[in-house]
Structures are given as structure tokens and as C-alpha cells.
Amino acid sequence: MRTHKSSLHGHNSRRPTLLHLVCVAAIFGFLVFALQSIFLTGNRISDLYREEVRTLSGFQLNVQQCVANRGLGLTAKIIDHCKLVLKFPEGTNSTWYNEQFKIYEPLEYTYDVCEAILLWEQYRNMTTVLTREYLDARPDGWLEYAAKRIAQL
């Protein structure tokens, strides 16, 4: 009878061990998957961010060169990939007086290129909605109108 109990006890102790091993393997697999997802996705996001910063910086360099060549003395100073400052030359007197605020117009203007792009995106999306509403209100429908417009191109 003792041999029977010990064999049952040995069999029961193996089952939890096997269950523990399966759980440990599943958790390990999940951790490996999670780490790979985080590092691979994070790398793509940082590459995209670097590309956006490079594009914005290139745009600002073009603006800086354009202002230097055609700005009649204005200078463009790049602060970071979003901010740009336009300045009038030293010794320029402000002749534009703002009656509402009782001050002369400044001789230095700060532009946020990133904010301007976001505003442009919002405006573009608004005009797209208005265009769709216009096309949906047409009596002949937007499909016929779109076909006519495409044929004109």
C-alpha cells in the first residue's frame, strides 16, 4: 500500500512542476515578445522623429537663405527645429504704431513653424469637409461631378 501512495504522490508532484514550467515558458515568451515590440516600434518612431526634425531644419535653412538673399536686410535666426526669429537690421526705427495697444510694432518676430503646419493641417481638413458637403448637396451627385472633373484634367 505504501508503494501505491508514493507513486501517486510522485505523480502529483510532477503535475504541478510541469504546470509551473509551462507557465514560466509562457511568461518568458510574452516578455520576449513585449521587449521586441517595444524596441522595434520605438526605433521606428525615433527614426520618424529624426526624419521630421531633419525636414523641418532643412526648411528653416532654406528660409534663412531666402531671407538673407531677398530680405532687404532682415535676418532669420534659427532657435530650434520649430522656432525661427526674423529681425530687422540694427538701427531700424519702428514706424508702425499700433493704436489699439499704444505701442510701436516690434522689430523682431518669432515664428513657430510646427504650429503653422498644424494650423494648415486643420484648415486643409476643414476645407475637405466643406468640399464633401458641397459635392453631396449637388443634384447629380458627387460621382458624376467627380467624373466630369477628372475628364477635364
Residue type, 41: T
> pLDDT tens-digit profile of 78-105?
998 889 999 998 888 888 888 888 998 8
**Is the whole-model pTM more than 0.85?**
no
pLDDT level of residue 109 (50, 70, 90 thresholds): very high
Can you give the pLDDT at residue 43? 58
DSSP 31-77: HHHHHHHHHHHHHHHHHHHHHHHHHHHHHHHHHHHHHHHHSTT-EEE
pLDDT level of residue 15 (50, 70, 90 thresholds): low
Measured distance CA(112)–CA(145) in Å, rounded: 39
Cβ–Cβ under 8 Å, residues 113 and 82: yes
Query: C-alpha distances in angstroms, 84 versus 15, 26, 62, 87?
Result: 68, 52, 12, 10
